[in-house]
Structure 1
């Protein structure tokens, strides 16, 4: 398997200062890092694609550490996360699934062993395609206040023979979250759900 070929890395930080109602005491930060990589399986069907997941692990860890640094560098500040992939038109949806293990493993490691499964989405799309990356709490998937999403994309990607892989982190709940459910303060931390 060839080395992962990176064409572009982009980082986006959103600072949410207002959502109607009173401004929050501390703005919510939502960050994303996107990486356009060559898709080694573009243009033809390959029955065994799983080995490329191992090749993607170092990229995932590098991206997670870069995103964490862009959000201030303190793993304790990160409360939400998610991941995704946009596969260019010469690829197939399953190529995006190659990001599940490397992306999730990387964020849990960078954050010191977060418990919850990292939510994910993927699609096949053309140049400029956008993706809504789902977000949940890093330690308990049932914390409703942290159910969120961040829309991301590259204006020049993915090219047909590329995959854009994405990681997202947030520093808190939705601004003015108030629809009940398990509160972050009540997380038991046993199973990644509650």
Structure 2
């Protein structure tokens, strides 16, 4: 199965937000992303059974989740938000991006100590240099409004027509100066991944 996974490039980045209008916040928001550019073994043809690649991607998912966590210092206790996504090159189909749901999402939940909330996701088919907005929510309760966000990401020159870009994102907290109400992180009580 490992012959299905051929990673060409990995891009890791960390953004630090020190200030956004209003008073200076008492914390720095940090956002890490990891993108892997890999060959799409199904490019240019319709393959009725693509599930073998989903299984084969599990090791890549764990590696990327570990890289993302390490970019934030390595302590799962500091991560409060996450998201994932995929950009499929033009010779592929949207369903090839959906192969990332299980290996990307479960890897982050495992690395972070079995986070409860579903990992939000997006995907699209696009050409080289395309960017994508990765949705972000709280790791333990999807209804925590303060952590709703998105991270714009892309890899220069990727994906080529026969490639995929898989993305993982982790954040260390709420939006700077969040103040639109709703369920707060310190009010999570149900433990169902939603509230």
Give the TM-score range, shorter chain: over 0.9
SS at match of 1:164: strand
Is the 1:32–1:166 Cα contact (8 Å) retained in structure 2? yes
Alpha carbon RMSD of aligned pairs, Å?
0.7
Query: Is residue 183 from structure 1 mapped to residue 184 from structure 2 by the alignment?
Result: yes
Match of 2:42 in 1: 41
Match of 2:102 in 1: 101
Match of 1:137 in 2: 138
Match of 1:151 in 2: 152
Match of 1:124 in 2: 125
The superposition leaves residues 69-128 of structure 1 with CA deviations (integer Å, 9 ceiling, x where unpaired) of 110110000000000000000000000000000000100010011000000000000000
CA apart distance, 1:187: 0.2
TM-score in terms of structure 1 length: 0.98
SS at match of 1:52: helix
Is the 2:30–2:72 Cα contact (8 Å) retained in structure 1? yes
CA apart distance, 1:189: 4.4
Unaligned runs of 5+ in 2: none
Query: Is residue 70 from structure 1 mapped to residue 50 from structure 2 by the alignment?
Result: no
Match of 1:55 in 2: 56
Query: What is the number of equivalent residue pairs in this alignment?
Result: 194
Match of 2:171 in 1: 170
CA apart distance, 1:22: 1.3
Match of 1:83 in 2: 84
